[in-house]
Chain A
Amino acid sequence: MANSLKLPPGPVGSVGQRSVIWVRKNLFNSWLNSILTLLAIAFVLWIVPPIIEWAFVNSTFTPTIEACRAVSGACWGFVNANLRLILFGVYPFDQQWRPLLAMIVLGGIIVASLAGVKYPRMQKLIIPMWVIGIPVIAILMWGGVLGLTYVQNSAWGGLPLTLILSTIGIVFAFPLGLLLALGRQSNMPAIKTLSVVYIEVIRGVPLITVLFMASVMFPLFLPDGVSIDKLLRAQIGIILFTAAYLAEVFRGGLQAVPRGQFEAGDSLGLSYWQSMRLIILPQALRLVIPPTVNSFISMFKDTTLVVIIGLFDLLGAVKLALRSDPAWTRYYVEGYVFAAAIFFLICYSMGRYSAYLEKELRKGERR
């Protein structure tokens, strides 16, 4: 009792009364709004219960065809039965702990790097972590040393492939995009022209074409006996493609930094690269966090296109699982919902992190 007396004076009335007031004020404040509210409620009632019934009530997780045939709802048994095929593709079954461990290592490095914003002490560890982490992941995936059997990368697939393609894609496309953005603003005509032509050509072509070129046409230009791995070609294609988009995003950021900042850097005797690194880019990149993450998300989803050159990423592996046994084929909705859920989880996390990053970087620095 004594505690309740100390509560700060709030609006009058119980929670119930206040909600009624809120609902009246916001949902039924005019006849048009009242109709819209009722329509919306009707729509939700119409669409949500069947989904819940399908997904949770009438569904089964039992990984057998028989169990699935017995229920009217979702057959999560398909996902359950084929989970390892979906997650790891055609990676040798008894070796699948390796891609699993590789994913955990990769996830750990990513999370630790992203946490660097909050914990400055972590920042010094970021580069060493990647320098050690990438070879560790490569050894786990390829093997061939330390008693691990060799797995060629055409057998890689599923979620590890998706994560590796997009992470490596981001790690390399980011600096390349920066250089292209700076090149486009350069005073040197050759560099400027090269950057502009590159950006415009790559942007003018769909990713699927770039991947197709990388997989089919590129080898034709190579001398006999030289071959570049298919996965590597796809990876390079993704990097080159994303870099062109990022370059334009970064250029937008560079243009938004006031001229005075460049002049202040110059007048203090800083060199071009010092000015860029210490003054201009920190401000420019901060301004373009949302569109940059936008590009990352879009690229993450675009990695699914590698399926056209015969690589099985997460989505490709779902298709593979659907085809593995004709009995499963009719449960494609469950398969795609599962893949969509994983994609959504990762993309949504990127979006949340971007919002967090913006907030974190703006602390203290009120303009």
Chain B
Amino acid sequence: MTAINSANKVAPSPSDEDVITISKANKWYGNFHVLKDIDLTVRKGERIVICGPSGSGKSTLIRCLNRLEAYQSGEITVDGILLGDDVKNIEAVRREVCMVFQHFNLFPHMTVLENLTLAPIWVRKTPKKEAIALAMHYLERVRIAEQAHKYPGQLSGGQQQRVAIARSLCMQPKIMLFDEPTSALDPEMVKEVLDVMVELAKEGMTMLCVTHEMGFAKEVADRVVFMDAGEIVEMGEPHDFFDNPKSDRTKLFLSQILSH
């Protein structure tokens, strides 16, 4: 399931500037240790794919990056802002980091256009006209402009997820987080969403993507991170990662997901 043919541009290389630094981050749910001493640095423009068996903490990790989840020890800095309990900091980070969810989470009581203009108008204080222009621009980019006045419930899953991506883009974020964006889709709709993500990657967006789409990882990722039981087990460039996995856990995982 790849999206190789969607764009021929060569992705720009990441810069040297770090935009996310995670050091010794730990998180517990009660007694359950979900994240164990996570260390990860992401450079500006870098595309990272995070994979691993379910329950490995990969979703929790990226949900910590926009503080949908709190962490209990260690330090996470996003775009130069330390993410802790400070509400001001959390809001500042969320203005620059957007997330695309497995279940889209579009607002069902608003039209597609209203979904897109909501945050620019209320968070960025963009004038309404500009916000609409911006929304239409991104709807064109995800090839769904003709659906602008429909409600999310009237769209297919793939269309909804593209709207969700456009909604995030309307905030013109510096970093985009994808939490299993294609897992809830019918198989025939996965490609249309991946195509949009590949285009984004090739434009140099900083992306962290939790996904099992290994084709996507091979095509656009600068690094693949493998997590298991709350730890980062292995991390490397896609060709190293897929061709010469070092740990047994990685080998087992790859054999399981690549076998079918």
Listed in ascending order, the chain A residues whose CB lies under 8 Å from chain B are: 258, 260-261, 263-264, 266-271, 274, 278-279, 282-283, 286, 364-367
B127 beta carbon closer than 8 Å to chain A: no
Is the beta-carbon distance between A268 and B118 smaller than 8 angstroms?
yes
Q: Contacts A286-B109, A365-B109 given; indicate if A268 touches B94 (C-beta within 8 A).
A: yes
Is the beta-carbon distance between A263 and B109 smaller than 8 angstroms?
no
Which of B91, B105, B106, B118 has the most chain A CB atoms closer than 10 A to its own CB? B105
B57-93 CB mask vs A (1 if < 8 Å, else 0) is 0000000001110000000000000000000000100
22 contacts between A and B (CB under 8 A): A260-B105, A261-B105, A264-B106, A266-B66, A266-B68, A267-B66, A267-B68, A268-B98, A268-B167, A268-B168, A269-B123, A278-B118, A278-B122, A279-B107, A283-B108, A283-B109, A286-B109, A364-B151, A365-B108, A365-B109, A367-B108, A367-B153
Which of A260, A264, A271, A279 has the most chain B CB atoms closer than 10 A to its own CB? A264
Q: How far is the CB of A274 from chain B (nearest CB, A)?
A: 5
Is the beta-carbon distance between B108 and A263 smaller than 8 angstroms?
no
Contacts of B151 in A (CB 8 A): 364-366
Contacts of B154 in A (CB 8 A): 364, 366
Which of B91, B94, B101, B108 has the most chain A CB atoms closer than 10 A to its own CB? B108
Q: How far is the CB of A129 from chain B (nearest CB, A)?
A: 25
Q: When A and B form their complex, which 7 residue pairs have the shortest distance between CB atoms, in order from nearest?
A: A264-B105, A260-B105, A268-B119, A269-B94, A267-B99, A367-B153, A269-B123
| B214-235 residues at the A interface, CB under 8 angstroms | none
**A267–B101 Cα gap in the complex (Å)?**
10
- Smallest Cβ-Cβ distance to B66: which chain A residue: A267
| B99-137 residues at the A interface, CB under 8 angstroms | 99, 101, 103, 105-109, 118-119, 122-123
Contacts of B97 in A (CB 8 A): 267
Q: How far is the CB of A108 from chain B (nearest CB, A)?
A: 29
Is the beta-carbon distance between A268 and B123 smaller than 8 angstroms?
yes
B239 beta carbon closer than 8 Å to chain A: no
**A269–B168 Cα gap in the complex (Å)?**
11
Contacts of A283 in B (CB 8 A): 107-109
Contacts of B66 in A (CB 8 A): 266-267
**A223–B108 Cα gap in the complex (Å)?**
53
**A299–B137 Cα gap in the complex (Å)?**
50
Listed in ascending order, the chain B residues whose CB lies under 8 Å from chain A are: 66-68, 91, 94-95, 97-99, 101, 103, 105-109, 118-119, 122-123, 151, 153-154, 167-168, 171
Task: Say what secondary structure dominates the interface of chain A.
Answer: helix
> With contacts A261-B107, A264-B106, A268-B98 known, what are 18 further pairs, Cβ within 8 A?
A258-B105, A260-B105, A263-B99, A266-B68, A266-B94, A267-B94, A267-B98, A268-B94, A268-B119, A268-B168, A269-B95, A279-B118, A283-B108, A283-B109, A365-B109, A366-B151, A367-B108, A367-B153
Contacts of B101 in A (CB 8 A): 260, 263-264, 267
Contacts of A266 in B (CB 8 A): 66-68, 94
Is the beta-carbon distance between B99 and A365 smaller than 8 angstroms?
no
Contacts of A269 in B (CB 8 A): 91, 94-95, 119, 123, 171
Contacts of A264 in B (CB 8 A): 101, 105-107
**A242–B153 Cα gap in the complex (Å)?**
35
Q: How far is the CB of A281 from chain B (nearest CB, A)?
A: 10
Q: Contacts A260-B103, A267-B99, A286-B109 given; indicate if A365 touches B153 (C-beta within 8 A).
A: yes
Contacts of B123 in A (CB 8 A): 268-270, 274
Q: How far is the CB of A109 from chain B (nearest CB, A)?
A: 26
Q: How far is the CB of B99 from chain A (nearest CB, A)?
A: 4
**A271–B94 Cα gap in the complex (Å)?**
10
- Smallest Cβ-Cβ distance to B102: which chain A residue: A260
**A264–B95 Cα gap in the complex (Å)?**
12
- Smallest Cβ-Cβ distance to B167: which chain A residue: A268
**A266–B119 Cα gap in the complex (Å)?**
10
Contacts of A261 in B (CB 8 A): 105, 107
Q: How far is the CB of A277 from chain B (nearest CB, A)?
A: 9
Is the beta-carbon distance between B171 and A268 smaller than 8 angstroms?
yes
The one of A258, A270, A282, A366 in contact with B153, judged by C-beta atoms closer than 8 angstroms, is: A366
**A365–B152 Cα gap in the complex (Å)?**
8
- Smallest Cβ-Cβ distance to A264: which chain B residue: B105
Contacts of A366 in B (CB 8 A): 151, 153-154
Contacts of A365 in B (CB 8 A): 108-109, 151, 153
Is the beta-carbon distance between A270 and B122 smaller than 8 angstroms?
yes
- Smallest Cβ-Cβ distance to A275: which chain B residue: B122
Contacts of A364 in B (CB 8 A): 151, 154
Q: How far is the CB of B138 from chain A (nearest CB, A)?
A: 14
**A263–B179 Cα gap in the complex (Å)?**
12
Which of A261, A263, A270, A283 has the most chain B CB atoms closer than 10 A to its own CB? A263
Contacts of A267 in B (CB 8 A): 66, 68, 94, 97-99, 101
